[in-house]
Structure 1
Amino acid sequence: MGTLQGEPESEQRAEVAQLRERLDALESENSALRGGRVRPAGARTRGAFAVVLILLAALLAPAAVVSTWVRAELVDTDRFVSGLAPLAEKPAVQTFIADEVVTAIEANLDIEAVVHDAIVGLGSLDLPPQASAAFGMLEGPAVHGIRSMLRTTVDGMVRSPQFAQVWEVALRQTHARAIALIQGDPASALQLSGEGTVSIEIGTVIAEAKALLVAQGVELAALIPEIDRSIPLVTSDSLSSVRTSYSLATAVGYWLPWVVLALLAGGIAVAVNRPRATLGAGLGLLAAFLLLIAGIGTGKIFFVSMMSPAFMPVPTAEALFGQVTLNIHAILVALSVLSGVIAVAAWLFGRSRQATAVRAAANRGFGGLRGQLDRMHLGTGAFGAWVDRLRPLLWFVAVAATVLSVFLTRPISLGSVLGALAWLIAGLLLVELLRRPVAPAAGKPGATQQNA
């Protein structure tokens, strides 16, 4: 009897010993893999190659954003107009444009000479001496009154709602003439100019002011000639450098973003630890975009110092720079948010203890929800098992579609990024609720574990 009772005890001890040995071996192997002492063949080379690709992508990402933005602003007239149209509502810009229009009109129309000739003409008439003397005394007030009316009319025009339409026409003419000049169009009236200054033409605004003055009964305004006057936006040493920059931006702005995307995908694909590589890519892109945002702030200081006071007042230069860079600033904020989300997602799928705990809690939560749905006779059956088998593929397709949708959106905005992320989260939640993990058959390895 003792022997019969002893055999099961010894067998149990042997099994326990074997289990302990196996557990120790697994823990040693896991610890070695975490510590980097056991690596697949070529892991070091693959890791170094992945780092190089991701680093190149992070370094080229700011250039890709800037070149894409410049290309869109240069090539697309509607984008150019919509980007600068809000300047018509900026008080600093309105005051500056009014000053420019008045200055241009007074420079091309000698108001004092015209009034003097009119007074002399009246004095030559056969009028009483008192009337001739009175006309002479009215010369100064007449000049002042005409100038005051000119200023009041122009100020009212640039602050009226109708000015937005005039400003839009001026912007479209500016874009057409600038592109014709940069591209070397023989029909461009500015073809012979060798200056590298891109300016906003305000001849349309001056013509509108002339029409308003004539409509108000100021016949003197009919003498205002056609005036070409412009507000400088960008200055360069020569026209050739502007043309070179234009050609480079239009070419690089098209293919460089695709190069960055390919470098990121390649770096993550060849990496041994893909979650860690994705985390590094997200953090690298986030740092690059934040640095570019800071660089725009520095560029504002440089732009204002270059344009003021030589070309325009400081408030006008600040308003102009802020409006010109508004779109790229919004793009960078959106891409920074996207990069941060990528980094967080990569951390959640990493091997850290905290990430593992978060995933385990999420799996338990989804498991409980699936159980409640099944008890409510809302189970997905065979379809759920099929979704569970294709879960990695479905996740990959959802993430890839989200990245491409953001990448192909022009212009990228915070709203488009958040919208794409919302659709991604909804899709992943739907997959988790629909899938039904199939429990392993009894007696097979992992039979006691839930496939969650």
Structure 2
Amino acid sequence: MSETGELAQLRERLDALESENTDLKREKGRPAGARSRTAAAVILILLAALLAPAAVVSTWVRAELIDTDRFVSGLAPLAEKPAVQSYIADEVVVAIEGSLDIEAVVHDAVSGLKALDLPPQATAAFGLLEGPAVHGIQSIVRTTVDRMVASPQFAQIWEVALRQTHARAIAVIQGDPNSAVQLSGDGTVSIELGTIIAEAKTLLVAQGVDLATLIPEIDKSIPLVTSDSLTQVRTAYSFATAVGYWLPWLVLALLVGGIAIATRRSRAALGAGIGLAASFLLLLAGIGTGKVFFLATVSPAFMPVATAEALFGQVTVNIHAILVALVVLSCVIALAAWLFGGSRQARAMRGAANRGFARLRGGLDRLHLDPGPVGTWVDRLRPAIWFVAVAVTVLAVFLNRPISLGGVTAALVWLVVALVAVELLRRPRGPEAGKPGATQQIS
């Protein structure tokens, strides 16, 4: 090993020992104050970890339930789910056949033909054709409806139905006495199918099924929320409207406060990252358990299991994405806190990084890319620049609602680029700045 490398390692070891000695002196000098600050930091971080799942749920409910556009965009993909298409097609066919007695209409038509003065063979033939005619019309209705729900145009029809449903559902959840649509007798909030049935009628008439002109305007719906769960939905709505906006900021304030007052901030940040990741993972597990219970308790008379599974999955897809992004962010916070901690492994990694950046800076200087006074200025203000970069990253993540894995990744990439740029631009001052292999601890 070269003399320069040995001197660099000895210097790093000496800095680490001096840091440990300073921490020990600080703890011995202010034992009572240190213990109080540590206890307060633990309480604040624990509160933040406990409130974080509630903040996620309230923000998600506020976005998905209250905002019409988000509600529609969240459930719009259901129009492409085969299980949902089959369920809607069945309900539309049942509604059409229930409002239009095909057997009675065909029977009346055949009876009218039989009453004419026709040969006996013709009269007998009309009687034999009555059954096939009924089945043929029913088959045309079924085929037309199946093609409609499987067509690209169905997405637009489904979106219109969702917008109508959202306005009515919010009125019901709010308990608006002036709402034109109230709860049904059994307390069910449903998705209206009137627009879809009207489109099916138009298609049938266009195919030459004149019988479809007899289909009246049908007020048909499929259940979305039953009376058993309406109370929980109303509670969630009230909670989301009350705290859905400011609760995430309270959690962030608790985290920042807990880390700021801690005697060992890196250790506090490590605990905060681990605690948040654990809370979000528990919420993910709770959603998975809720799905199992939901599918186990749903009645086939209420909704087919396959349709219920598709509905639950689509409703929770956004909160799944949010939680995955937050778990990744929490793990990154914990990893960063460990890297900037006082463990031997962390110090070794920081030392290696410092030596690498020192070599890169030396290479840039040899290429006459020395930033000059700017490098000295960046080195002097490096802590402040780092703080601003981290604060901007955190604000970008929180202000971009809903939080997504792509947004978190983009923010972290920007942060890494900014910090690397700072390390390449800065030029350490003092007598050691020009020494080969000289390092300045990242802390």
Q: TM above 0.5, one fold?
A: yes
Contact 1:439 1:450 in 2 (8 A): no
Q: Displacement, 1:41?
A: 4.7
| Aligned mate of 1:206, from 188, 193, 197 | 197
Match of 1:105 in 2: 96
Match of 2:422 in 1: 431
Contact 1:54 1:267 in 2 (8 A): yes
Match of 1:13 in 2: none
Tell me: CA distance 1:28–1:164, structure 2 relative to 1, closer, same or farther (3 Å). closer
Which structure 2 residue ranges, 5 or more long, are not aligned? 1-13
Match of 1:306 in 2: 297
| Aligned mate of 2:134, from 129, 137, 143 | 143
Contact 2:194 2:219 in 1 (8 A): yes
Tell me: CA distance 1:40–1:430, structure 2 relative to 1, closer, same or farther (3 Å). farther
Match of 1:68 in 2: 59
| Aligned mate of 2:221, from 227, 230, 234 | 230
The secondary structure found in structure 2 opposite 1:231 is strand
Match of 1:389 in 2: 380
- Aligned 1:110-259 pairs, distance under 5 A: 110-191=101-182, 193=184, 196-237=187-228, 242-259=233-250
The secondary structure found in structure 1 opposite 2:246 is helix
The secondary structure found in structure 2 opposite 1:373 is helix
Q: Which moved more, 1:139-148 or 1:236-245?
A: 236-245
Q: Displacement, 1:193?
A: 4.3
Counterpart amino acid of residue 212 in structure 1: L
Tell me: CA distance 1:40–1:194, structure 2 relative to 1, closer, same or farther (3 Å). farther
Match of 2:282 in 1: 291
| Aligned mate of 2:359, from 364, 368, 372 | 368
Tell me: CA distance 1:173–1:87, structure 2 relative to 1, closer, same or farther (3 Å). same
Tell me: CA distance 1:355–1:173, structure 2 relative to 1, closer, same or farther (3 Å). same
Counterpart amino acid of residue 381 in structure 2: L
1-structure distance, mates of 2:91, 2:355: 69
| Aligned mate of 2:311, from 295, 320, 324 | 320
Q: Which moved more, 1:423-432 or 1:38-47?
A: 38-47
1-structure distance, mates of 2:438, 2:432: 11
TM-score norm. by structure 1 comes to 0.88
Q: Displacement, 1:367?
A: 0.8
Q: Displacement, 1:125?
A: 2.2
| Aligned mate of 2:346, from 343, 355, 358 | 355
1-structure distance, mates of 2:295, 2:318: 19
Match of 1:47 in 2: 38
Which structure 1 residue ranges, 5 or more long, are not aligned? 1-22, 443-447
Q: Which moved more, 1:334-343 or 1:73-82?
A: 73-82
Aligned length: 423
Contact 1:57 1:263 in 2 (8 A): yes
Q: Displacement, 1:90?
A: 1.0
The secondary structure found in structure 1 opposite 2:301 is coil
Tell me: CA distance 1:29–1:405, structure 2 relative to 1, closer, same or farther (3 Å). closer
2-structure distance, mates of 1:51, 1:181: 43
Quick check: which has more Rg, 1 or 2? 1
Tell me: CA distance 1:214–1:32, structure 2 relative to 1, closer, same or farther (3 Å). closer
* 1:190-235 Cα shifts (integer Å, max 9, x gaps): 1364654332222211111111111111111111122222222333
What is the Cα-based RMSD across aligned positions, in Å? 2.4
Tell me: CA distance 1:367–1:449, structure 2 relative to 1, closer, same or farther (3 Å). closer
Contact 2:72 2:163 in 1 (8 A): yes
The secondary structure found in structure 2 opposite 1:136 is helix
Tell me: CA distance 1:434–1:158, structure 2 relative to 1, closer, same or farther (3 Å). same
2-structure distance, mates of 1:27, 1:427: 30
2-structure distance, mates of 1:345, 1:441: 27
Contact 1:308 1:317 in 2 (8 A): no
Contact 1:264 1:281 in 2 (8 A): yes
Q: Percent identity?
A: 77
2-structure distance, mates of 1:195, 1:239: 11
Q: Displacement, 1:319?
A: 1.1
Q: Which moved more, 1:69-78 or 1:238-247?
A: 238-247
2-structure distance, mates of 1:449, 1:158: 70
Counterpart amino acid of residue 428 in structure 1: L
